[in-house]
Structure 1
């Protein structure tokens, strides 16, 4: 079922034993991040809702997308649905794009409107995500912007997640990377020495957060894709001061402008590769209007050494677009696993048509919108190898790879600056590992007769799973 807001999803998580409510008083630091880091070490790691935070009035939600069980519930599937089935379900819904959104006139996010004396330190339950961060970061907000050259084109309106450092009572810094849609929007505005209107929405229902972290095409609408994924038109409401469209179910909205030709030092910040980014000069955002629900929930994201919530959040929604792009040209592609460090590592299963086919597919990854800057290592396996099962992948790596012939290195390629091995920053070498069984005219392996499972194994698997469930 589609969720109207974050609160409804938290209730569903609670009903499925995927939410822990922390009612004892906690300190903003280090308790919130410490708990969010620790919960990822648990099986079926649940979401966390902190109800009593010293010095703050508002509750904090963490780890909302932080397990495959939560991910399955977001898709209205049984929480024990396998990862591979979730991948193919997302892919099938992807094909329903576009589903036009609908607009509502009223929403709880308009219950309170503030347009003077804004103080983010009082309105938000802020804390450092990691102890080495330069300051307070908002790491899970959806940020909405429009292409200033096409202000009425909803397909060029973007919803994305970009890190925000709170630098003043009504100011933030933002990282609009050049290869992100908001970077294109801001560069166009800055060339004309004009500010860019943005809206920062905090505490969203789970599907739009998923879409905001998805590498869609520049003229693909996150709202139309959210409708396809949730199988119902997505509900929007207009911003107070601009023509931006907002998720109607959000908890908090910060409306403001990114100002041109003004930079402040931002960072360091603990990032998804598991290391701190450096300090850089980034554009500034001035907040002029805030709207929020009564007693709003502040949702944030713990980012650190994998696996954490961000690795679940940007896993399948990175894998599916790359799969779609490859499948269009190579129907033999079976599945794509781009879950590792936001697709810096990628595993592809493919049915090879001829010798060298796997390497050709892997090279195509490096020209996809996401693979060009992010992907550094591609492993290609046979169609009968589950790319989401690392035991099977390692089997293929150990008995299907001839290091002399099956490893390819590409130098001086685009890279992502947050990868600490990029040198210089934003440039990288790339590696392809062909772990497929050779087909003609490549030199064939001497013996590739595979051992198959005994007859009846699938039936016994179902029976044993039911026995465990009934215990």
Structure 2
């Protein structure tokens, strides 16, 4: 049952609703009680819940996102259990508000568990008061949303209990929200010592799950990492991989929470400015004598890549790919400047890897110089480093920039490096593994195919072959891997976000009025501007394509009144402000991404760029001046109407 009324509280619209619903769970009341009173179990069932904090014996804090109509709201809730009668009844009070206090919610709740046939009937009721911008929605909309959320909770809760029966004792459920106790820290930071410290942070906050049972690297790691990514689940530590001598952690940056906490941030709208502030002055790395990555050594015939990482990440991969989050460190033959990049690497034999660095990357350009001189190129490949190194190694920067200097700037201190056996090339000192070796000139092998970050398979190619001469590693090392796929994934965040920030920094230096920039998919950029003159959006597009290094295929430019972090608003601008014959720019034969699946094999490396001017036209600006209407929205008239008609509208009762 749903009852609702509307009124005005001062100048703020308010809705009052009464909800009473029942659903059946095929489990005993005792089992249901155990689950429903455990935040780690009930939390993932609550739609939109991202975080739970235990602040007292009967008090909790939670963060919840909810979308009603065109509005997306993020609430901070406090829940107090006022009465508890195990295992039959709970009374509680919920109070919450948006971060901007645009809406407030108060609810008095009751939950009853009643034995019924083969299970339990769960009755829940709430008397809810909503004030603010969400209070202006029609009661029909509110009732429909409340019913939908209740049904979603019931379905997920029943499924979670059912899963616990089938998989009891196994890590079968990936908890979406993080549960923390009073006094624990969830802030994250920027100066991680190593990958293990970040893993400890994730595990303490429910963001890492240990898989202790033996897993088959030919398919089970593929399946488990895929499920976790799609459900915004935890990082997975595989402690027992069939045929491998070492454990492996995967999906380490595969959730928004873990990626953002690498920098101590709460949301992506903070990311660009944070990056600009921290990287204003780069900090060079330092050589150190403390080298955990060189505690153990493997040489000669003892080298066997199959025993280190033998994972087949996707169904149609060409073989084992240990290089999905490994960094290739090279030195420019002429300038001596280091480059670090993440390129796919395919195991060809016990001690050789196919090296899939595309021709437009700095690492491959380093190799081309050595090859032109008919010389071997020394290279070190490291894996299992702190998350900052992982992120900067994915960043598309200008030529001649040492990404390790960016890592130092982000951490606020010099990155600690140690000389490797690959012609002394420095590597992060706390890496878990380091492969040292050479790439001979004109030596090629068949590398690939491989399931890529685009969500498509990249074809097999003849690529340079990396010959490993020595492997060093930490004691009890942990390999670092990642399942490449479309978002959400480690690569979509590691490639998209830092490259977005670097492009934003360049763009602001080239064009006035640039306010923000977003890139969730490598091929598309969305730029927010304060439109200042005719042709301003086109100048932004030209700068994105010609002045940055990310090779964006599509560029969408929007006005300052469009929140680029809300895709609904971006689509609204595209739908209402774009006239295709006037506002769409097509630029063929531009430098592109080698892995772009829309390009034929013979045209690889090329792309056609499309720019969309989704700003208000100059004519509309001139007509409306500074009073450009954003939406057909008249809250004053609605308030006056409700004051007179509220009690007479039968459909609202």
Q: Tell me the distance in 2 between the aligned counterparts of 1:6 and 1:385.
A: 38
Shift of 1:443: 7.7
Shift of 1:369: 4.1
Shift of 1:90: 2.1
Q: State the partner residue of 1:464.
A: none
Q: State the partner residue of 2:403.
A: 222
One of 272, 275, 280 as aligned partner of 1:90? 275
Q: State the partner residue of 1:143.
A: 328
Which aligned pairs between 1:162-311 and structure 2 lie closer than 5 A? 162-311=343-492
Q: Tell me the distance in 2 between the aligned counterparts of 1:67 and 1:6.
A: 16
Query: Cα deviation per residue 1:265-321 (whole Å; 9 max; x = unaligned)?
Result: 211111111111112111111100110112211111101243222112212101111
Q: State the partner residue of 2:561.
A: 384
Call closer, same or farther: CA 1:405–1:116 in 2, change over 3 Å: same
Q: Tell me the distance in 2 between the aligned counterparts of 1:351 and 1:252.
A: 48
SS of equivalent residue, structure 2 residue 297: strand
Call closer, same or farther: CA 1:68–1:305 in 2, change over 3 Å: closer
Q: State the partner residue of 2:204.
A: 15
* Structure 2 unmatched ranges of 5 or more: 1-188, 637-653
Shift of 1:88: 2.3
Q: State the partner residue of 1:128.
A: 312
Which aligned pairs between 1:56-95 and structure 2 lie closer than 5 A? 56-77=244-265, 81-95=266-280
Call closer, same or farther: CA 1:121–1:175 in 2, change over 3 Å: closer
Question: Mean Cα displacement is larger for which, 301-310 or 107-116?
Answer: 301-310
Q: State the partner residue of 1:103.
A: 287
Query: Cα deviation per residue 1:171-208 (whole Å; 9 max; x = unaligned)?
Result: 11112322111111111100111010000001111000
Q: Tell me the distance in 1 between the aligned counterparts of 2:306 and 2:484.
A: 24
SS of equivalent residue, structure 1 residue 327: helix
SS of equivalent residue, structure 1 residue 314: helix
Q: State the partner residue of 1:31.
A: 220
One of 429, 432, 438 as aligned partner of 2:617? 438
Q: Tell me the distance in 1 between the aligned counterparts of 2:200 and 2:270.
A: 24
Which aligned pairs between 1:400-419 and structure 2 lie closer than 5 A? 400-419=577-596
Contact 2:297/2:471 (8 A) holds in 1: yes
Contact 2:329/2:381 (8 A) holds in 1: yes
* Structure 1 unmatched ranges of 5 or more: 456-471
Call closer, same or farther: CA 1:453–1:74 in 2, change over 3 Å: farther
Q: Tell me the distance in 2 between the aligned counterparts of 1:453 and 1:13.
A: 46
Question: Mean Cα displacement is larger for which, 257-266 or 443-452?
Answer: 443-452
SS of equivalent residue, structure 2 residue 427: strand
Shift of 1:6: 0.8
SS of equivalent residue, structure 1 residue 227: helix
SS of equivalent residue, structure 1 residue 117: helix
Contact 1:314/1:339 (8 A) holds in 2: no
Q: Tell me the distance in 2 between the aligned counterparts of 1:60 and 1:453.
A: 57
Contact 2:511/2:543 (8 A) holds in 1: no
Shift of 1:238: 0.8
Over the aligned positions, Cα root-mean-square deviation in angstroms equals 2.0
Q: Tell me the distance in 1 between the aligned counterparts of 2:372 and 2:289.
A: 35
Q: Tell me the distance in 1 between the aligned counterparts of 2:262 and 2:356.
A: 28
Q: Tell me the distance in 2 between the aligned counterparts of 1:441 and 1:384.
A: 15
SS of equivalent residue, structure 1 residue 28: coil
Contact 1:61/1:297 (8 A) holds in 2: yes
Q: Tell me the distance in 2 between the aligned counterparts of 1:158 and 1:436.
A: 39
Contact 2:358/2:594 (8 A) holds in 1: no
Q: State the partner residue of 2:605.
A: 426
State TM-score, norm by structure 2: 0.65
Query: Cα deviation per residue 1:232-257 (whole Å; 9 max; x = unaligned)?
Result: 22111111241211001100000010
Greater share of residues in strand: 2
Say if 2:630 is the partner of 1:450: yes
Q: Which has the higher contact order (CA 8 A, sep 6+)?
A: 1
Q: Tell me the distance in 2 between the aligned counterparts of 1:162 and 1:57.
A: 24
Query: Cα deviation per residue 1:419-448 (whole Å; 9 max; x = unaligned)?
Result: 011241111111111111123698868993
Contact 1:408/1:432 (8 A) holds in 2: yes
Contact 1:118/1:288 (8 A) holds in 2: no
Say if 2:231 is the partner of 1:42: yes
Q: Tell me the distance in 2 between the aligned counterparts of 1:172 and 1:60.
A: 19
SS of equivalent residue, structure 2 residue 618: coil
Call closer, same or farther: CA 1:250–1:356 in 2, change over 3 Å: same
Call closer, same or farther: CA 1:286–1:25 in 2, change over 3 Å: same
Question: Mean Cα displacement is larger for which, 406-415 or 161-170?
Answer: 406-415
Q: Tell me the distance in 1 between the aligned counterparts of 2:634 and 2:517.
A: 24
Q: Tell me the distance in 2 between the aligned counterparts of 1:92 and 1:167.
A: 43
Call closer, same or farther: CA 1:214–1:332 in 2, change over 3 Å: same
Contact 1:144/1:157 (8 A) holds in 2: yes
Q: State the partner residue of 2:502.
A: 321
Contact 1:354/1:441 (8 A) holds in 2: no
